[in-house]
């Protein structure tokens, strides 16, 4: 069966089929290597595509949200600073009158 498949495939398979059992093992090894290589190449392409999609999602959604959060924190820090300044001024004003 392998010899027939090798003869139909031509090329290096027909040469390996002439070596009997060793040729059959070599044919199986080559077929497995090709299949594994194709599978891993397809997997790599799929994961690369998924990585690009996630990267675009980060650029579109997460980065603007981080910019807004940073702006909100800056405003909150400024508000706290202003409140402390006003509190210190009112304490000084109370202390100067007494």
* Structural domain for 13, as ranges: 2-97
Task: Please compute the mean of the pLDDT values over residues 82-92 and round it to a whole number.
Answer: 90
Total domain count, the chain: 1
Segment 23-78, tens digit of pLDDT: 788 888 999 999 999 999 999 999 999 999 999 998 899 889 999 999 999 999 99
Q: Do residues 3 and 17 make contact, with C-beta atoms less than 8 angstroms apart?
A: yes
- Residue written as tokens 């010899």? 3
E strands along the chain, which residues? none
Q: How far apart are CA 14 and CA 2, in angstroms?
A: 10
């Amino acid at each position: 069966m392998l010899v027939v498949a090798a003869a139909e495939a031509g090329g290096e398979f027909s040469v390996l089929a002439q070596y009997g059992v060793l040729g059959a093992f070599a044919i199986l090894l080559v077929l497995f290597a090709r299949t594994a290589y194709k599978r891993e190449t397809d997997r790599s392409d799929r994961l690369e595509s998924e990585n690009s999609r996630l990267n675009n999602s980060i650029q579109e959604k997460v980065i603007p949200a981080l910019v807004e959060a940073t702006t909100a924190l800056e405003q909150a820090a400024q508000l706290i600073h202003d409140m402390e300044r006003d509190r210190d001024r009112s304490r000084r004003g109370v202390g100067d009158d007494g």
